[in-house]
Chains A and B, each alone.
Chain A
Amino acid sequence: MTFAHVTWWHSHVQPIIDRDPSRADYGWNWLLYVPFAEVTGRVLIRKPVGYTIGLSDPERDRFVPCALVQLLGRVPALDDHDRESVFVWFLSTAPDEALTTIEDHPIPVDRIPRRLGTIALDVAVTHSLNERRLGRTALYADERGGEVLLQWYHRRGMRVLPDEAKLPPGPRRLLKPSDGRYCYYTVPAAIEASKELDSLR
């Protein structure tokens, strides 16, 4: 993820997202989140990294961001506090309208990439595998997404941390304790989820 991606996103995609208050990423500001995640990750030694999933157009030298995902590469795993995991801090996908209305570069409806959320989650799992976290990946399902979002992560193979479970040591244990919306991949579940998209790699 580069600053150019985030700036374009906040210029073109976020205004369209912000027309729909029911979205979990309604009102987000990546121009704040990315520098904040960077500095937080650096100070707390959490190895922050951001990825952009997009369409590459070599002929016109253009790259169309379709999803953004901001990760922390080194946090204690939710199910085993002595192991390390990746944490998905922010994840957002572009609505179809944002991709079909790009000035001078609209994406035809039949070429809009599908399963962007699944792909963005797969990026997190892949980062975990590549960073020797064995696929362990965790996230907090935004309250605004309600039960639908929680079920979506569950269908991707994630487990939900019980609301009485204790979080690993760190600011979140105190400031954002478990409330039944933390989700995580065990190692076998992460491998299984990763295999699902192997045919597209």
Chain B
Amino acid sequence: MPTPTTAFADAAAKYGEVDPEDIEAVQKWFTEELPTLPVDIIEQVIRDLLAQDGAAAEREIIPVYPERAPLPSLKLSPPVALPLLAEDWKRLLQRLAARLTRRGENQ
């Protein structure tokens, strides 16, 4: 159970004077305002929220879901490069270990 939504709402109210019952305003504050605040305030927000990680919500906040958000396009979904296979990594690590062993023997 992550930090309850109420804790996010309370943090937005405390540090951003946002109405904690307005979940969309809370979301906007976390997206747009929080990153612009001084680091010491951000650290305090982080501490407040991590302190409530796993805590039960003290009250209920009715979720608001965005209405009919469109499916993302491919342009908005850049692919990541295909990763190396585990076997490739194993080979890489074995080569590295062999090289280090050789270096150790030569010294």
Which B residues lie within 8 Å of A62 (CB)? 71-74
CB distance from A43 to the nearest CB of B (A): 5
- Find B50's partner among A8, A11, A103, A171 (CB 8 Å cutoff): A171
B15 sits at the interface (CB 8 A): no
A-side interface residues toward B, CB under 8 Å? 2, 4-5, 7-8, 10-12, 14-15, 18, 24, 27-29, 31-33, 35-36, 38-40, 42-44, 51-52, 54, 56-58, 61-65, 90, 102-105, 126, 129-130, 134-135, 142-144, 171-172, 175-176, 191-192, 194-195, 198, 201
Is A43 within 8 A of B39, CB to CB? yes
Q: Decide yes or no: A63 and B72 within 8 Å by CB, A36-B30, A36-B49 being known contacts.
A: yes
- Find B47's partner among A8, A134, A171, A201 (CB 8 Å cutoff): A171
What are 20 residue pairs bridging A and B, where the CB atoms are less than 8 Å apart in the complex? A4-B70, A4-B72, A5-B76, A8-B70, A10-B66, A10-B69, A11-B67, A15-B65, A29-B5, A29-B27, A33-B2, A35-B31, A36-B8, A43-B39, A51-B80, A61-B75, A102-B71, A129-B84, A130-B84, A175-B50
Nearest A residue to B76, CB-CB: A4
Is B1 within 8 A of A176, CB to CB? no
Task: Report the interface size class on chain B.
Answer: 35 or more
Which B residues lie within 8 Å of A42 (CB)? 35
Is A129 within 8 A of B46, CB to CB? no
Pairs of residues from A and B, 5 with the lowest C-beta to C-beta distance, nearest first: A11-B69, A63-B77, A194-B86, A4-B72, A195-B86
Chain A interface, >50% SS class:
helix
Nearest A residue to B8, CB-CB: A32
Is A27 within 8 A of B63, CB to CB? yes
Given contacts A51-B80, A57-B74, 19 further A-B contacts (CB under 8 A): A5-B76, A8-B70, A10-B66, A10-B69, A11-B67, A36-B8, A43-B42, A44-B46, A52-B77, A61-B73, A61-B74, A63-B72, A102-B71, A104-B71, A129-B83, A129-B89, A175-B51, A194-B86, A195-B85
